[in-house]
Chains A and B, each alone.
Chain A
């Protein structure tokens, strides 16, 4: 309980929606991008023919 209290901060006076989204990509992201070149080459090779049409016409019925 004590820890929980410590972690909590008072709510901002107004809306919490205002907080800006910092992109996930950081320095590590930059480093990973170097490794991703091979993967992107491979993706180019296996990408569905007419991939954009396929995704456009991809319609499912709701389920569950």
Chain B
């Protein structure tokens, strides 16, 4: 049996400051994150809990004016890299704010903490905008391209056994990444591939397909590969590898996120058990990636290396059939148990509707939800795909401001509740090592010198700092360390108990 599929999503958000002549995305990202972190800090130290929405705050220039414990925070513009009490990492990467979820043990948890990440960014926007002068507004989008050829990622991470031959992972993963676009795409007007016009591709399934130019490689910003070879397990490197997946779109639909991560975890677990079956090997994977994304008929044949053809939908149907057979034989324990059983059911439903009635997926698949709005608009106003308002609507689908978000108005089904999401903004998952990281930060933030994915360093008052390694992603859970954490009085006590 394979290793437990520990999962994570890291999302780079689009960022812009309206009303600022030459807004610098690095400063804007720093402002966003610092505003949030400083408010948290103030909330923590100010005694009585300070609400997030102060109505009598004055914007921008007044922010540094008054002193005192409840005064607005100073905003620094150096690069930020914060670890949050929910186990997540919130930082500036290149010219974008990025949030990595804590390690999650199943696809449903991913949805919860991905939603929590969005909520954190929303709160950050509100906090940052209080600090900006009137007439300026910082706006964040959960998307993957600016429509002008610049792309940024939503990466997924999957823990795998080190002993699995990498070549086997590459071949099966490639097949899934190309064909899962049918339900992972967030939809895009036009194409950003060189020389592809709006007449040729008026609308496509994904934001990202235009940007892949290689089959396998280490790059993420240039010559992007379908399978990324970054080998940085953030865990015991003898035992594990972390498959870093860069092909996916950032999803606004919870169901899309659930299926994107849930199906991929299952396919990778099958690969790990050597139960994925014969590989569907595409003659030109890079071309296939785009072909699937450009094909609104969902029926275009893709050429395999043996000269036969198959459609993306047929591949997905066969992967699902094999996944069911694998589940019957191996069980679903390593991919989340009952959650994975739901993944299989939803996967089946979505594939069935893609084959029979794709528009019926407008309540769960982003590219369909967006397409429906755009088609509705086109119909009402009799405009063609090149009309600029369509681009505006498509962008605003991803807008994180609740008063602007079109995804928020699309009637997308919810898998998780607001209450649960709100809690996940500050609480870590209980069933991975993120629990240990998050709880330590909740209790002893001032004594945590550094926290990383696989270690945490305490200042225990003695001369040497104490580092606690966390090389096993499925240890450090509540079941494992909850009592020790609760009973320890301080980090020194904790370290003593852990090494006892």
Identify the A interface with B (CB < 8 A): 1, 3-4, 7-12, 16, 19-26, 28-29, 32-33, 36-37, 39-40, 42-43, 46-48, 51-52, 54-56, 58-64
A50 to B94, CA, bound (A): 29
Q: Which of A12, A42, A60, A62 contacts B309 (CB 8 A)?
A: A12
Complex Cα distance A25/B298, Å? 12
Check A36–B391 contact: CB distance below 8 A.
Answer: no
Distance in angstroms from B148 CB to nearest chain A CB is: 6
Q: State whether B376 touches A8 (Cβ < 8 A).
A: no
Chain B minimum-CB-distance residue to A42: B409
Given known pairs A51-B389, A52-B392, A64-B94, the reply for A8 and B359 (CB within 8 Å) is no
**Inter-chain contact A63/B151, CB cutoff 8 Å:** yes
Q: Does B206 contact A (CB under 8 A)?
A: no
Are A7 and B318 interface neighbours, CB within 8 A? yes
**Which B residues are CB-close (under 8 A) to A32?**
359-360, 362, 372
Least CB distance from B89 to A in Å reads: 15
Q: When the two chains form their complex, are residues A36 and B373 in contact, meaning their CB atoms are under 8 A apart?
A: yes
Q: How far is the CA of A58 from the CA of B18 in the complex (A)?
A: 10
Q: How many A-B residue pairs have CB under 8 A?
A: 173
- Take A8-B309, A60-B96, A63-B94 as given contacts and tell me if A33 and B379 are in contact as well, using a CB distance cutoff of 8 Å: yes
Indicate if the CB atoms of B295 and A3 lie closer than 8 Å.
no
Q: Chain A's nearest CB lies how many Å from the CB of B372?
A: 6
A37 to chain B, nearest CB (A): 8
Query: Which of B98, B148, B301, B321 is A19 in contact with, Cβ under 8 Å?
Result: B301
**B314 and A33 form a contact (CB under 8 A):** no
List the A residue with the shortest CB-CB distance to B399.
A48
**Contact residue among B93, B359, B388, B403 (Cβ-Cβ distance under 8 Å from A26):** B359
* Known interface pairs A24-B296, A55-B147; 19 further A-B residue pairs with C-beta atoms within 8 A, sorted by A's residue number: A4-B277, A4-B318, A7-B318, A12-B301, A29-B375, A39-B376, A40-B376, A43-B373, A47-B392, A48-B396, A52-B388, A54-B392, A54-B395, A58-B146, A60-B95, A63-B151, A64-B93, A64-B152, A64-B155
How many chain B residues have a CB neighbour from A under 8 Å? 73
A23, B374: Cα distance in complex, Å: 13
30 A-B pairs within 8 Å (CB atoms) are namely A7-B314, A8-B304, A8-B308, A8-B309, A11-B308, A19-B300, A20-B297, A22-B296, A24-B368, A25-B375, A26-B357, A26-B359, A28-B360, A29-B359, A33-B379, A39-B409, A40-B377, A43-B377, A46-B409, A55-B147, A55-B392, A60-B25, A60-B96, A60-B152, A61-B94, A62-B221, A63-B95, A63-B96, A64-B93, A64-B94
Whether B392 pairs with A48 at a CB distance below 8 angstroms is: yes
- Give complex CA distance A48, B320 in Å: 41
Is the C-beta of B153 less than 8 angstroms from some C-beta in chain A? yes
Report A-chain residues with C-beta under 8 Å of the C-beta of B25: 60-61
| Beta-carbon contact of B153 and A61 below 8 Å | no
| A40/B357 in contact, CB under 8 A | no
CA distance A62 to B12 in the complex (A): 10
Q: Which of A10, A24, A42, A43 has the largest number of chain B CB atoms within 10 A? A: A24
B280 neighbours in A (Cβ, 8 Å): 4
Check if B99 is an interface residue, CB within 8 A of chain A: no
Tell whether A56 pairs with B318 under 8 Å between CB atoms, given A21-B295, A21-B297, A22-B297: no
Q: Does B246 reach chain A (CB closer than 8 Å)?
A: yes
User: B277 contacts which chain A residues (CB < 8 A)?
Assistant: 1, 4
What chain A residues lie within 8 Å of B392 (beta carbons)?
Answer: 47-48, 51-52, 54-55
